[in-house]
Structure 1
Amino acid sequence: MYTARIIVIAALATAFTTVNQTVRAEESLIPRDMVYIGQGLSIMGFDKEEPTELAHAPATYHKRNRTPAATLNDESPSHTVFLDSYLIDTYEVSNKDYKEFMRTTKHGAPAYWDDPRLNSPTQPVVGVSWFDAHAYCESRSKRLPTEAEWEKAARGPDGNLYPWGDAFDPAKANYGKTHDATRPVDSYPDGVSYYGLYNMAGNAFEWVLDWYDPRYYSQLEPMVNPTGPAKPVWIGGTGTYVDLLTVGEKRVIRGGSWIAPEGTARATHRFWNHPLNNSYGVGLGFRCAKTAPPEIDQRIKDAAILTYVDMGRERFAEAQQTLAPALALDPKNRELLDLRQLIEQSMKRP
């Protein structure tokens, strides 16, 4: 009896160790401080009433105001896109990481690098141009996320209006000068997105890959992996800020900042900036992304198929072990989570 018990314990320990080793091996496919977001459909945009009173305002109104009327309804129409799997940084790029980039590449310092409010190692780097952000990501064998990738990472599979849900919660974001500067990149854990990304609302605006066109959504044709307009459009009518950096061709920035108002924290909010401008709102940073290697998708599919096979044979303990590597790679996958729940329910049956 004693010997049999030892054998059972040893077998369970071996199985547990095997699962843990497999899980660690799967996790190593995903770089540290990045999350995997699986392929699938995603909602972009937000339908709202057109601001007709501004759209039909006289030309003198637009000359006095920074925001052209055409850009006030640039989040519509709401539409569905299909995105391939990708990886995206969990956090905004920090001053610590950017300092290392400057040291190894001799890249110049961003604006506000010497500002004591903004230069703590754990704060997001701000005062970077689109070209600075692009160069940093490239040095890490990454790239800037597309606007569609950024929005999916912020909204999750349910298309939330904010990273945490559909209702704004002022306790979950750094916006509107509630603090006198940016907060550390791992701040506001209660405000993370479904996929676990921090500060997708507030703290620092984030550059994305796309050119900006306020009418792009209404002209959208490719519904698979959109990368923005092929060519930029000229944005004008900025009144007192008419110069090279406030009119002309723009790149998209997303997410709001510590100094920007509540409306910019909405995950659908779009704004723009000249790619050379590194000083917008004392809060302009970024995070990086990269296309997921096909090996990840294949391993998830293989594990799911083998799990169904084990379940069909009513080998539920084995099914748990088979599913574990897939969940290690994609812990937010709804299909995998449902499958795990089904296994657990099956194991409880008499």
Structure 2
Amino acid sequence: MLWHIPVLVLLVQLLASPGFAENVKDTSGTENMAFIAGGIYEMGSRRSLKELDPADLMNTDRHALGPENPAHHVHVDAFHMDIYEVTNADYEKFAQSEGEKKSRFSDNPDFNGPNQPVVGVSWKQAVKYCAWKGKRLPTEAEWEKASRGKRHIAYPWGNEPPDGNKVNFNEELNKTSPVGSYEAGKSDYGVYDLSGNVSEWTYDWHLPEYYLFSPKKNPQGFERGQYKVIRGGNWRNDAFNVNMTYRNATVPSMKNKTVGFRCVRSAEGK
């Protein structure tokens, strides 16, 4: 029975290894959520105006020239993220339970399908919904980690340009799609619609130059501001806006038909 000793030693070594620890997760209360492993990744865009020849400015990727610079390494703790954007059916249950206002577009047939993402809700309403579910809005850093993983890629699926098989964008449908419609467009973690369909509220206040001094571990945005960061682009946007480094922002009271949200939950349940 001495064979048990090397097997036990191997098991102890496996449990202690970083790769194994990265996959250990608390799954209680995380149905229909993807586990996003904690760790360091490169956030933001690598290119800048200084690196470009003036003759190339008209032809370069616009996403590399704004507040997405500079690229920088960030550590994000492990968390769980909703696989799908919050749907109208999800939000309706919350609104009825809590006496909250319905979506601004709850009567619009292009946007009110039960499996379409809810739109027309403010940042505060999104926060309330996530809290009702025992969750919260993702930080901007968490959102980008979920969309790119450890790879420095432009889109959740890789660097190939977006098309109608991967993402709802560029006004091809002129409305939102039911969540999870684009299998080819999901991220390495199995999260759907991070690119296109609807832009998504994040927790963070927006500051264009934030990446110049943001914390290296679990950044949560500037401490105050006028605008909240939204990510991912939407059904109206072109390839530039549905890129994973693109940063957009709007007033937290805004309710329109291009912005929805999804929730996250820290791995320890907070």
Q: What's the TM-score once normalised by structure 1's chain length? A: 0.64
Structure 2 equivalent of residue 109 of structure 1: 102
Classify 1:104/1:132 alpha carbon distance in 2 versus 1 (closer, same or farther; 3 Å).
same
Deviation, structure 1 residue 51:
8.9
- 8 A Cα contact 2:47 2:65, kept in partner: no
Please state if 1:252 is matched with 2:237.
Answer: no
Please list the CA deviations of residues 184-228 of structure 1 after superposition, one character each: whole Å capped at 9, or x if unmatched: 1111011100000000000000000000000001122x2011101
Q: Is the aligned partner of 1:223 residue 2:216?
A: yes
Q: Does residue 49 of the first structure (1) align with residue 48 of the second (2)?
A: yes
Deviates further, 285-294 or 149-158: 285-294
Cα shift at 1:48: 2.6
Separation of aligned partners in 2, 1:174 and 1:104: 31
Partner Cα separation in structure 1 for residue 28 and residue 124 of structure 2: 28
- The answer to whether the 8 A contact 2:205-2:222 is kept is yes
1:264 aligns with 2:241: yes
Q: Distance in 2 between matches of 1:27 and 1:77?
A: 34
Q: Which runs of 5+ in 1 are unaligned?
A: 1-25, 53-70, 233-248, 295-350
Equivalenced residues, count: 233
CA distance in 2, matches of 1:33, 1:257: 22
| 1:290 correspondence with 2:262 | no
- Match for 2:74 among 81, 84, 96? 81
CA distance in structure 2 between the aligned counterparts of 1:199 and 1:267, rounded to whole angstroms: 11
SS in 1 for 2:126: helix
Distance in 1 separating the partners of 2:194 and 2:180 = 11
Question: What secondary structure, in the 3-state scheme, does the structure 1 residue paired with 2:241 have?
Answer: helix
Q: Is the 8 A contact 1:51 1:73 kept in 2?
A: no
Alpha carbons of structure 1 residues 138 and 85: separation in structure 2 relative to 1, 3 Å: same
CA displacement at 1:230 relative to structure 2: 1.3
- CA-to-aligned-CA distance 1:124-151 (integer Å, 9 cap, x gap): 0011110110010011110000000000
- Give the CA deviation at 1:43: 1.4
Q: d(CA) in 2 for partners of 1:288 and 1:119?
A: 20
Determine what percentage of the aligned residue pairs are the same residue: 39
Post-superposition Cα deviations, 1:66-91, rounded to whole Å, max 9, x if no partner, equal xxxxx961000000101111111000
One-letter amino acid of the counterpart of residue 32, structure 1: E
Structure 2 gap ranges (5+) = 1-24, 52-63
Q: Does 1:182 align with 2:159?
A: no
AA aligned opposite 2:191: L
8 Å CA contact 1:156–1:195 kept in 2: the answer is: yes
Matched, 1:169 2:189: no
Query: 1:51, 1:72 within 8 Å by CA — same for their partners in 2?
Result: no
For residues 160 and 102 of structure 1, do their structure 2 counterparts lie closer, same or farther at Cα, with a shift above 3 Å needed? same
- Partners of 1:157 and 1:28 in 2: how far apart? 22
Q: Equivalent residue of 2:219, what SS?
A: coil
Structure 1 or 2: more helix by fraction = 1
Q: Structure 1 stretches (4+) deviating beyond 6 angstroms?
A: none
Aligned to 2:16: none
- Supply the RMSD in Å over aligned alpha carbons: 2.0
For 1:50, the aligned partner's letter is L
TM-score, length-normalised on structure 2? Answer: 0.82
Local SS of the residue matching 1:118: coil
